[in-house]
Every structure is written in structure tokens, then in C-alpha cells.
Structure 1
Amino acid sequence: MESAIKTVVEVYLKFAGTKENLSGSAFQKMVKKQLGNIMTDTDSSGAIKEMRQGLDDNQDGKVSFPEYMTLVGYLANTLSEQKVKDQEAAGGAPAAQEIP
């Protein structure tokens, strides 16, 4: 889990560069390069712009780290729900797993 957290932070910093926030263009590049396998419409500039505007709580046109984490949390939750649905559709309840 530590490596996953480090990756989430490193991806944000890579695209933010020397700035504290992701600009509109940096956010678009990040979504296209990093989220194309788990999100639809990542090839649509309009869809990505709408997503950015939805995340932009303070309406400054940029995505701050806490706003970015809202996206990460939403995606993690969506993937978790989909995995449970897939397991149920396969005829079994999710197996309890011990977390080390």
C-alpha cells in the first residue's frame, strides 16, 4: 500500500511540475496518460474539462492536491464496487482476505 500511495503522489507532482496545482492542460495530459485504462472518454478534451471543473471546488481553474485526491478516491471506490459486482455475477461472494 505504501508504494501505491507514493505512486499517487509522484504522478501528481510529475504533472504539476514546479507548481502547486495542476493546470487545465497538465490535468488533461495526466488523465490521458494515466487513466485511459480505467476511465472512458479520456480521449475527449471536453469530457476531461468537465471532470476538471467538477473537481475544482474553489473554481480557480486548477486542480489542487486535495481536489486530485477526490478523483483518486472516486476511482478507487468505483473499481471496488465493480470488482464486487463482477464476483457476484460469477456466482460467488467476495472472499474475505487478510490484509497484511
Structure 2
Amino acid sequence: MEGLIKVFHTYSSKEGDKYKLSKAELKSLLHGELGDFLAASKDPMVVEKIMSDLDENRDGEVDFQEFVVLVAALTVACNEFFVESMKN
């Protein structure tokens, strides 16, 4: 948990509201922490789509509560991948 909180605040404190991720900060976080995930995506709009999906209150930024949705979704996807891998 501490690691997730530190990662969020490392990126969120770079510009504007230090408790929210701007689109640029989110993009930086995704490239810095999930670069392989982004590289695997062939969609040039992937960051914009992630931002849109996470920004529940439509304020143009992602707060920690909204960020946790990304963490949960990635955790579920990884679990599904490993479950399928173990079946084969």
C-alpha cells in the first residue's frame, strides 16, 4: 500500500494540484511505471482513454481514489492472465 501511495504522490506533485494527477502526470506515471503495458498497446489514444475512464468526476484530473480504480483493474487483469496461464 505504501508503495502505491508513494508512486501516486511522486507523479502528482510535479505540477498543479499536488494531490491529483494531471493528464501529463498520468502519462508520465504510465510510461514510468507501466511502460511495457503502454508499449504493447498499439492505440495512440490509450492515455486519453485511461484518463477518461478514471476521471469519474470529470474535473480533468485523477485523484488518488480515482487512481485506485486503475490499480484494481490492472490487478484483476493480471490475476485473470495468471489463472489462464496455469490452466494451460
TM range (shorter): 0.7 to 0.9
Which stretches in structure 2 are left out of the alignment for 5+ residues? none
Which stretches in structure 1 are left out of the alignment for 5+ residues? 90-100
Structure 2 counterpart of 1:15, one-letter code: Y
In proportion to residue count, which structure has more strand? 2
2:62 is paired with a residue whose SS is coil
Structure 2 counterpart of 1:41, one-letter code: S
Structure 2 residue 22 is the aligned partner of structure 1 residue 26: no
TM-score, with structure 1 as normaliser: 0.77
* Deviation, structure 1 residue 37: 2.8
Number of aligned residue pairs:
84
Equivalence for 2:57: 58
Equivalence for 1:96: none
| Greater relative CO (CA pairs within 8 A, separation 6+) | 2
1:77-100 Cα deviation digits (max 9, x unpaired)? 1101110100001xxxxxxxxxxx
**Identity rate of aligned residues, in percent?**
24
Equivalence for 1:78: 77
Contact map agreement 1:32 1:43 (CA 8 A) in 2: no
Separation (CA, whole Å) in 2 of partners of 1:56 and 1:42: 22
Separation (CA, whole Å) in 2 of partners of 1:8 and 1:42: 26
In proportion to residue count, which structure has more helix? 2
Separation (CA, whole Å) in 2 of partners of 1:30 and 1:38: 12
* Deviation, structure 1 residue 32: 0.8
The root-mean-square deviation of aligned C-alpha atoms, in Å, is 1.8
